[in-house]
Structure 1
Amino acid sequence: MESDRQALLGFSRRTVLGGALAAGMSTVFGVSPVHATPVSHPRSRVAILGGGVAGLTAAHELIERGFEVTVYERRALGGKARSMAVPGTGMPGRAPLPGEHGFRFFPGFYRNVTDTMRRIGFPGNLNGVWDNLVDARQVKLSRQGAPDITVPGLRDLATITPDDLRESLAAAAREAADLPASESSYWAGRMLVYLTSSDARRLGQWEETPWTSFIGADTRSPEYRTVLSRLPTRSLVAARADLASTRTIGSISEAFFNLALGNGKDGEADRVLNGPTSETWIDPWVRQLTDLGVRFEVPATATGFDVRGGRIAVVTVADRTGYETPIEADHFICALPVEKARRLWTPEILSLDPGLAAMDNLFVDWMNGIQFYLRHPARLCEGHIAFVDSPWALTGLSQNQFWARSLGDHYGDGEVQDCLSVDISDWETPGMLYDKPAKQCNPEEIAREVWAQIGAHVNDTRVLLPDDDLHSWFIDPGIAWHPGPGLNTDDDPLLINTAGSWQDRPNSQTAIANLFLAGDYVRTNVDLATMEGANESARAAVNSLLDATGSNAERCDIHPLYQAPELEPLRGIDEQRYRDGLPNMFDIG
């Protein structure tokens, strides 16, 4: 009788046990799941395709609400966010050196993914995995033959006037680069235009405007183009300034600006994890979800959809040998990257949801990392460092200074004392040594080239990174190397928010009743290919699924980017001006 009663309520033994385990984790680890006890809704099986941040987030939200969840992942759980063991580097009693797709970065305006982190138990942490985030104390812009650059903070927005705001922004620009007063003032004026633009103008005008056009980069000095056009796009968000949407770059710039003022904060502006990503975040997450009842199938590659009666009836997945198995579920969440998801849209699927065809217009590009393992600690910066003049738009992080377990004591052969993790954002510009873009180099050439570009920045006045300090290196294994120019491939490209691309990006709810989308290409508030965007999109997909099932479960919280209320009157004026076909009141050319 008890089992019958549970079935009527939509419960299963696994979800009941999951609730007990969740309650236990709240006691042991100090985390409180949103739904430790399942709520009443029709029993539903959900298949999630993809086990990156989006897929794991969707699984987390659904299992807490009593659904039966299976995640199918083709390669490794965690996706681009995971860390991975460097083959052949582990010694008896010591873990292999940790490699990664690229270093992790958690700016303080991330609020969705960090909310999830608070709900992932970690021994000894009151706030779960979130307590593994530590503040980076500096952000540096390294220039060849010039001192490192820091940008000052800004005054409290509650008492600042538009003229004061323009003056403060111009001062920051002058401090950050050797710009003439006229150029720094012009840039500050453009930022003021964006900060006071209404949402309607941002979507209707600035979404269609490339960043270079908005800030007038083409008619200004090389220094202006480098620091205020190329750096915020190539180095920070792996976009091309001539292609990137002003709405995207402007909104992220606004988010950092608000952080400097102490607004919309989940933490400090620049945060990193206190150890390898999988150890401090992904592995504890997977263990918790497994304990709650989530099933994981790895490797399992989605290869096709079977549509019946206007719904997805079956998804075919292949194992590592290529053997295909049909899987059934009541609902499907496609949490694959855009370049993988759009390959699955058959003519039948597109006939049911023609809007999905626009995903073919979305642009992806390379942004992959390399790790340099060092024999001594790298004393370059107490946080992220941008190598401003590097042809390949390099940014880096010396990681061991933030880790609770030192590399020298726990990883590799004992000789490695630090890891300089470097992101390569520009794979198409010729480098210094070989006069070839990174896409045309072999792994050894990339390692030598990146090391030389970094050395040109940090060893220009005194040697901070000697050649004999380099122990070894590791390149993102998502890149496949093939002989011949232009034949290398990247299995982990990044979505680039090109101007006008919002109209081609789907919502989480498709026109197919039981198919939902989660991924950093889906429309989100953060509007950028990030862990935050992946997490937010998964929350939206789960909310859509809850609506579709008629569940009475509490909907997932979705946290938008902060907008300063003090500027709301100016944005209100701009909304009317935009409707009247007039420019922003501060847009004076």
Structure 2
Amino acid sequence: MTHCIPTPASCQHRPTVAVLGAGIAGLTAAHELAERGFEVTVYEYRADERNGLGTAPPGTYPPVKLGGLAASQYSTVGTRDGSPAELRPFPGRRGTPAPPRCAVAGEHGFRFFPAYYLHIWDLFQRIPVYQYANDPAGPTNWRSTSRTVMDNVRRVITQGMTVAGKPSLVFPRERPRSLAEFFSVLHQLSALGLPPADIIYFQSRLLRFLVTSPLRRGREIAYESSYDFFVGRDHHGTPQYTYSPDFDRLLREMPRVLVAFDPNWGDARTNIVSYLQLFLNMDRRDDKADGVLNGPTTEAWFDHWYRHLVALGVRFVRAAAESLEPPPAEPTVPPHLRARVTLRFTDGSRLTPDYTVVAVDAPAAEWLTGALRDAGTGGTVAGLDGFATSVPPPLDPLQAQATRPAARRNPYAVDQVGRVPWDRFQTMTGIQFYFDTEFQLLRGHMYYAGAEWGLSSINQHGLWENRPQLTRDGHVAVLSVDIADFNTPSTHLVDDLGRGKTARDCTPDEIAAEVWRQIVTALTNDAENVAEALLPWPVWYALDRGLGMEHGPGQGTGRVVRNETPYLVPIVGDWENRPGGDPWNPHETSWTSTPTEEDWLVDLDTRGVWQARHGGYQVHHNSVVFAGTWNRTFTRLTSMEAACESARHAVNAILDHYVWVGSGGADRRDNTTLPWRFPYGFLDQGFSSPVRMPTPAGDYCYVFDVENREPADTRLLRNLDSQYCLQSLPHPLDTLTTPVGGPP
């Protein structure tokens, strides 16, 4: 019999939760838990760099930096108190530009919200926009309005790309609305010299992926690259189709614009799922379509989120955790009553909350959990050992574990990360160029095909509500550029020995000048006359704050030596190496793994790991759960969406564990959902399901499985393929054999 407990809000003691990290994963977890009555404190060691500038009254900004990698970056000329906040003059600039009167905002990369980011869209609708109200009698001067952050999203309807030797192309981010528009797109494709046969075969491979079950995608397609899938490489390694040289080059390059997918080494399942979602949602013509925010991310999103979380009772403390200390062994105590993990902070203080959500990056999570591993903790904790610090295999990503080197590396050291293209961590960062005249290359995203450093950009300021002003901000326009490749040598910039320099070998000025040269060359197809190109030149630039140079103070000078934000790339066959349990869909419409009863009992009793019987994320020592893009998610791709989804899985695990503890350890539910029925066997295509799945501790966080949102017309073959895959048979399109014994 299942025993239930009252909801947290009705208990005298609300469980306390410490959230480590104020990135999107940490803030999402804090939001969801606070709404369910938990007492939440967020710990973050970074300060909001806007504090102390003297441009706003004390208390205007949050006490800590919110948003992690997604946060806006505020830069001033020179350094402030040794902090890495530098706005640098662009090398070779015209004249002597006047410095800005205030810190200027920049964005790492696109801050792009595709239509399939349904976790983020759902979150946006639940964060009110706050407005300053000069009310001394009120408890706060900020008041919520009827608007939400969703109202701060602006559509992006175009995307562009450069092609060597040809004019730049612009494509719509929506499907053609007429035959004339359709033929216009075909005309642009034909201008690239792409044979129709190439396009037809490429589309046939996409259709083949759509009728392949998630089960087979995980067992087979995740172990091949997207390039191998698109050429139809068989189990002997022979491609079924050979593309023309131009199409083949585009096929090998274009995925780099999607957060640096590597078509040669990237896991085909993750790459193609993301590509299909970007394509399939092009028919939306409402505010759910692709968009960006109408201002710097911190101002248009995180400042409002902070005020809302404070209104929900969440506390923010600037502090850095040093380690998670294991509880004493208690073999005679029932598992649900055993002691919990203690947090030790860098100032020596200790705290033992009811729950701890570790929402930091993978390297930090690995170091924080060292003491837990030494004590024999399993699950996610054990899986983190070497996840960020192990040297990648020298031969290929599928090299046998026994033959891999045992050496370790510093994942924050630029010269130790990404030395082989199948390293799961790469240095992917950005640079912002500021102009003293209006400059909008494209009202959308731009990809520079052929640029050695894998460049893409957006002029975001054109969509901002409060545009920059020259007299106040020292600039009128800003171009945000993603640098996806820090390891390929430039064909133009060379060292003293005549060897091409990689981005990791360069100083800030060299990076700025070379990135701008590659952009101008790609746009003008003229590598010789970059200085005379018909484009305005930047007056200032700022490198991403995560980059550090070899000489201080602040961000420093000299070549790049440190990157605080190593980027996790989905590599062939690497999904199974991600720490922790598989994601779980509360609607139980997704494939997931569950432990056997024997493994469940062993993990619980000897390894300190608890997991709900239906699967999902793990809880360690009755208290610790992990969240972040490095965990397993249905989104799979390292992104804001994956961070938000992962936090929801972590909160759902806490809700299930809370019920288990409150039931005296008797709750071992295999099934947790009410018997709702959905027509067609899949969920609605809107922001969220109309049905929220409840637990005695409050509703589960709703989770969107992106592969469930592919066209319903393909589901019949996908379901049939699942039966074939379970019986180790080829895809039904590859054989006329009927599975022996019928459906499982």
Shorter-chain TM-score: what band?
A: 0.7 to 0.9
Are 2:645 and 1:546 aligned? no
Give the whole-Å Cα distance in 2 for the aligned partners of 1:71 and 1:524.
23
Report the counterpart of residue 353 of structure 1 in structure 2. 378
Matched length: 535
Report the counterpart of residue 5 of structure 1 in structure 2. none
From 320, 327, 332, the equivalent of 2:351 is 327
Q: Deviations over 1:17-59 (max 9, x none)?
A: xxxxxxxxxxxxxxxxxxxxx4558521101111100000111
Paired residues for 1:138-177 under 5 Å: 138-151=158-171, 174=189, 177=192
Structure 1 residues 59 and 42, CA, compared in 2 at 3 Å: closer, same or farther?
same
Q: Deviations over 1:325-353 (max 9, x none)?
A: 21220111110111211122226436221
Are 2:639 and 1:530 aligned? yes
From 85, 100, 120, the equivalent of 2:74 is 85
Structure 1 residues 45 and 173, CA, compared in 2 at 3 Å: closer, same or farther?
farther
Report the counterpart of residue 288 of structure 2 in structure 1. 267
Aligned identity (percent) is 31
Paired residues for 1:256-405 under 5 Å: 256-262=278-284, 267-268=288-289, 270-309=290-329, 312-318=340-346, 323-346=347-370, 348-349=372-373, 351-354=376-379, 356-359=381-384, 360-361=386-387, 363-405=424-466
Structure 1 residues 10 and 572, CA, compared in 2 at 3 Å: closer, same or farther?
closer
**Larger displacement relative to structure 2 (96-105 or 216-225):** 216-225
Give the whole-Å Cα distance in 1 for the aligned partners of 2:205 and 2:272.
10
From 117, 141, 147, the equivalent of 1:110 is 117
Structure whose CA Rg is larger: 2
Give the whole-Å Cα distance in 1 for the aligned partners of 2:191 and 2:45.
44
Give the whole-Å Cα distance in 2 for the aligned partners of 1:55 and 1:504.
23
Paired residues for 1:441-520 under 5 Å: 441-460=506-525, 466=534, 469-482=537-550, 488-505=561-578, 506-507=580-581, 508-520=617-629
User: Which SS does the other structure have where 2:197 is aligned?
Assistant: helix
Deviation of 1:417 (Å): 0.9
Give the whole-Å Cα distance in 1 for the aligned partners of 2:575 and 2:486.
25
Q: Deviations over 1:489-518 (max 9, x none)?
A: 210111111122221222332443211111
Give the whole-Å Cα distance in 2 for the aligned partners of 1:39 and 1:466.
67
Residue type at the aligned position of 1:479: L
Deviation of 1:480 (Å): 1.3
Q: Deviations over 1:444-491 (max 9, x none)?
A: 110001000110122348999756531100000211112799971210
TM-score (normalizing by structure 1)? 0.83
Give the whole-Å Cα distance in 2 for the aligned partners of 1:121 and 1:93.
31
Give the whole-Å Cα distance in 2 for the aligned partners of 1:394 and 1:572.
40
Are 2:679 and 1:555 aligned? no
Instruction: Tell whether the 8 Å contact from 2:6 to 2:697 is kept in structure 1 after alignment.
Output: no
User: Which SS does the other structure have where 1:72 is aligned?
Assistant: strand
Instruction: Tell whether the 8 Å contact from 2:324 to 2:371 is kept in structure 1 after alignment.
Output: no
Residue type at the aligned position of 1:226: R
Q: Deviations over 1:129-184 (max 9, x none)?
A: 1111101131111223312234576589xxxxxxxxxx99x969945953233332
Deviation of 1:528 (Å): 0.8
Structure 1 residues 466 and 316, CA, compared in 2 at 3 Å: closer, same or farther?
farther
Deviation of 1:300 (Å): 2.1
Residue type at the aligned position of 1:560: D
Structure 1 residues 150 and 587, CA, compared in 2 at 3 Å: closer, same or farther?
farther
Report the counterpart of residue 268 of structure 2 in structure 1. 246
User: Which SS does the other structure have where 1:482 is aligned?
Assistant: strand
Report the counterpart of residue 594 of structure 2 in structure 1. none
Structure 1 vs Structure 2 CA RMSD = 3.3
Give the whole-Å Cα distance in 1 for the aligned partners of 2:270 and 2:427.
18
Give the whole-Å Cα distance in 2 for the aligned partners of 1:466 and 1:174.
26
Instruction: Tell whether the 8 Å contact from 2:251 to 2:263 is kept in structure 1 after alignment.
Output: no
Instruction: Tell whether the 8 Å contact from 1:103 to 1:369 is kept in structure 2 after alignment.
Output: no
Are 2:85 and 1:63 aligned? no
Report the counterpart of residue 224 of structure 1 in structure 2. 247
Give the whole-Å Cα distance in 2 for the aligned partners of 1:313 and 1:77.
25
User: Which SS does the other structure have where 1:237 is aligned?
Assistant: coil
User: Which SS does the other structure have where 2:247 is aligned?
Assistant: helix
Q: Deviations over 1:383-413 (max 9, x none)?
A: 0111111111111001221010011168523
Give the whole-Å Cα distance in 2 for the aligned partners of 1:447 and 1:304.
41
Structure 1 residues 155 and 475, CA, compared in 2 at 3 Å: closer, same or farther?
closer
User: Which SS does the other structure have where 1:69 is aligned?
Assistant: strand
Give the whole-Å Cα distance in 2 for the aligned partners of 1:64 and 1:225.
50
Give the whole-Å Cα distance in 2 for the aligned partners of 1:119 and 1:94.
35
Give the whole-Å Cα distance in 2 for the aligned partners of 1:272 and 1:528.
19
User: Which SS does the other structure have where 1:554 is aligned?
Assistant: coil
From 208, 211, 214, the equivalent of 1:193 is 208
Paired residues for 1:29-40 under 5 Å: 38=9, 40=11
Instruction: Tell whether the 8 Å contact from 1:109 to 1:266 is kept in structure 2 after alignment.
Output: no
**Larger displacement relative to structure 2 (355-364 or 365-374):** 355-364
Give the whole-Å Cα distance in 2 for the aligned partners of 1:515 and 1:123.
33
Give the whole-Å Cα distance in 2 for the aligned partners of 1:315 and 1:139.
47
Residue type at the aligned position of 1:51: A
Instruction: Tell whether the 8 Å contact from 1:353 to 1:512 is kept in structure 2 after alignment.
Output: no
Give the whole-Å Cα distance in 1 for the aligned partners of 2:191 and 2:275.
15
User: Which SS does the other structure have where 1:134 is aligned?
Assistant: strand
TM-score (normalizing by structure 2)? 0.66
Give the whole-Å Cα distance in 2 for the aligned partners of 1:213 and 1:55.
37
Give the whole-Å Cα distance in 2 for the aligned partners of 1:104 and 1:390.
21
Unpaired stretches in structure 1, ≥5 consecutive residues:
1-7, 12-37, 157-166
Instruction: Tell whether the 8 Å contact from 1:39 to 1:553 is kept in structure 2 after alignment.
Output: no
Give the whole-Å Cα distance in 2 for the aligned partners of 1:118 and 1:564.
25
User: Which SS does the other structure have where 2:326 is aligned?
Assistant: strand
Instruction: Tell whether the 8 Å contact from 2:121 to 2:150 is kept in structure 1 after alignment.
Output: yes
User: Which SS does the other structure have where 1:147 is aligned?
Assistant: strand
Instruction: Tell whether the 8 Å contact from 1:49 to 1:333 is kept in structure 2 after alignment.
Output: yes
From 488, 492, 508, the equivalent of 1:429 is 488
Instruction: Tell whether the 8 Å contact from 2:549 to 2:559 is kept in structure 1 after alignment.
Output: no
User: Which SS does the other structure have where 2:453 is aligned?
Assistant: coil
User: Which SS does the other structure have where 2:327 is aligned?
Assistant: strand
Residue type at the aligned position of 1:457: A
Q: Deviations over 1:275-304 (max 9, x none)?
A: 111111111111221232211112424434
Give the whole-Å Cα distance in 1 for the aligned partners of 2:352 and 2:154.
42
Give the whole-Å Cα distance in 1 for the aligned partners of 2:430 and 2:147.
30
Structure 1 residues 178 and 347, CA, compared in 2 at 3 Å: closer, same or farther?
farther
User: Which SS does the other structure have where 2:357 is aligned?
Assistant: strand
Unpaired stretches in structure 2, ≥5 consecutive residues:
47-64, 79-86, 88-97, 132-144, 234-238, 330-337, 389-423, 494-499, 552-556, 582-616, 660-695, 736-744
